[in-house]
Amino acid sequence: MAKRVLIIATDGFEQSELIEPRKALEAAGIKTVVASPKSGEIKGWNHGDWGKSVPVDADLDDVEAEDFDALMLPGGQMNPDVLRMDERVIQLIEDFDDAGKPIAAICHAPWLLAEADLLDGRTVTGWPSIRTDLENAGAEVVDEEVVIDDNFITSRKPDDIPAFAQALIDALEERGEVDEEDDEEEEDEEIEEL
- Domains of the chain plus CATH, in order, are 4-193 (3.40.50.880)
Which pLDDT does position 1 carry in this prediction?
77
State pLDDT tens for residues 103-155. Answer: 999 999 999 999 999 999 999 999 999 999 999 999 999 999 999 999 999 99
**Cβ neighbours for 193, distance < 8 A, ≥ 6 positions apart:** none
Which pLDDT does position 176 carry in this prediction?
77
Mean pLDDT estimate for the chain: 92
107 counts as catalytic: yes
Share above pLDDT 70 across residues of the chain, in percent, rounded to a whole number: 91
CA 129 to chain centre: 20
Closest CA to 75 of 122, 134, 126: 126
Closest CA to 88 of 61, 67, 119: 61
Given 6, 106, 107, 167, the catalytic residue: 107
Given 101, 108, 131, 157, the catalytic residue: 108
User: Do residues 108 and 80 touch, judged by C-beta distance below 8 A?
Assistant: yes
State pLDDT tens for residues 56-91. Answer: 999 999 999 999 999 999 999 999 999 999 999 999
Measured CA to CA, the distance from residue 23 to residue 131 in angstroms comes to 28
pTM of the predicted model over 0.95: no
Terminal-residue alpha carbon distance, the chain: 27
